[in-house]
Amino acid sequence: MKKIITGCVFLGCLSPVFAMPIDFVDQGDYLSDPHSGLDWLDVTTSVNQSYNYVSSQFGADGAYEGWRYATTAEFNTLVSNWTSQPSPITTIGLVGIAEGLLAPLIDMLGSTLDSYYMNYYGQTYNDYWGYTSHNGLSYIYGMTNPVGSNVNLSVIYDNERTLSSSDYIQASILSSLWSTNAVRGDIGSYLVRDTAVVYKEPVTVPEPATFALMGLGLAGIGFFKQRKQKKA
């Protein structure tokens, strides 16, 4: 019976523990999503710049050389990957997101609302209105690929000002009044490029506690083997 118990302990030591896969990487002024193979430039980099101006800077020696406008589908995929939605987001309408999931994404891509407030008031929105961090309001408004002469706007919206407030994303907000030459202090551009960050599959690695249990299992086997030899 003791041998059986010892064997179970030893086999239990070999149970796999899966390490978390490589995930999003904050590169400072851009964010790498290895799941989709794209880098995302900080949206606040391009606030108060029109679609036409930003597009003109994609060429050699331009301010955004190597970058391009994201599509609404890529925007949705970014949020799907970030929030681990049960099914990928495909709608261009408003999609509610669970509380607390969007704030870190906004921190990494830059709040265009805060960019506006810093420019005009020298403070973030939350500081100006007396909210503590992540308990007020932050959002990213950015342009994606246009349809005709109108620009697509997509938003990542985190509202914590009241208990009844909600967080959401919305892709492809078309406005007949928003042209490819329009600018606004709280609107930037969602720009992407292929990432050099490689996604790796999860690997099986033992935890430190597993090593300890393995040692106990081996010690137990040695103890019973020595005891058997003495009896013989």
What would the DSSP string read from start to end of 36-80? TTEEEE-GGGGTT--HHHHHHTSSTTSTTTT-EEPPHHHHHHHHH
Alpha helices in the chain (DSSP H): 2-13, 51-56, 72-83, 102-109, 112-121, 125-129, 208-231
What does the pLDDT read at residue 151? 83
| pLDDT > 50? residue 14 | no
| pLDDT > 90? residue 188 | yes
Both 53 and 165 in one domain: the answer is yes
| pLDDT > 80? residue 166 | yes
Q: Distance (Å, rounded) from C-alpha 183 to C-alpha 159?
A: 24
Both 51 and 104 in one domain: the answer is yes
Both 63 and 161 in one domain: the answer is yes
What does the pLDDT read at residue 165? 73
Domain residues for 54?
Answer: 25-194
Both 59 and 87 in one domain: the answer is yes
When pLDDT is cut at 50, 70 and 90, the band that residue 218 belongs to is low
Say what the pTM is: 0.76
Residues sharing a CB contact under 8 Å with residue 71, sequence separation 6 or more, in sequence order: 144, 145
Q: Evaluate whether residue 5 is within a structural domain.
A: no
Tens of pLDDT, residue by residue over 64-73, are 999 999 999 9
Both 218 and 155 in one domain: the answer is no
Both 61 and 100 in one domain: the answer is yes
Number of domains composing the chain: 2
Strand partners, 204: 18
When pLDDT is cut at 50, 70 and 90, the band that residue 16 belongs to is very low
What does the pLDDT read at residue 231? 52
| pLDDT > 60? residue 216 | no
- The torsion angle over the Cα atoms of residues 209, 211, 216 and 217, rounded to 10 degrees, is 120
What does the pLDDT read at residue 217? 55
**How distant, in Å, are the alpha carbons of 68, 111, 131, 139 from that of 178?**
20, 20, 31, 19
Q: Evaluate whether residue 220 is within a structural domain.
A: yes
Both 74 and 184 in one domain: the answer is yes
Asked if residue 146 lies in contact with residue 134, where contact means CB atoms within 8 angstroms, the answer is no
Both 184 and 74 in one domain: the answer is yes
Both 146 and 220 in one domain: the answer is no
Asked if residue 3 lies in contact with residue 224, where contact means CB atoms within 8 angstroms, the answer is yes
Q: Distance (Å, rounded) from C-alpha 161 to C-alpha 136?
A: 5
When pLDDT is cut at 50, 70 and 90, the band that residue 131 belongs to is very high
Asked if residue 101 lies in contact with residue 70, where contact means CB atoms within 8 angstroms, the answer is no
Both 66 and 175 in one domain: the answer is yes
What does the pLDDT read at residue 230? 52
Residues sharing a CB contact under 8 Å with residue 148, sequence separation 6 or more, in sequence order: none
Q: Evaluate whether residue 7 is within a structural domain.
A: no
The 3-state DSSP class for residue 121 equals helix
Both 217 and 179 in one domain: the answer is no
Q: Evaluate whether residue 17 is within a structural domain.
A: no
Both 119 and 141 in one domain: the answer is yes
When pLDDT is cut at 50, 70 and 90, the band that residue 101 belongs to is very high
What does the pLDDT read at residue 183? 94
Question: How many CA atoms lie within 13 Å of 28's alpha carbon, on the beta-carbon side?
Answer: 0
What does the pLDDT read at residue 158? 95
Tens of pLDDT, residue by residue over 53-62, are 999 999 999 9
Q: Evaluate whether residue 9 is within a structural domain.
A: no
Asked if residue 124 lies in contact with residue 200, where contact means CB atoms within 8 angstroms, the answer is no
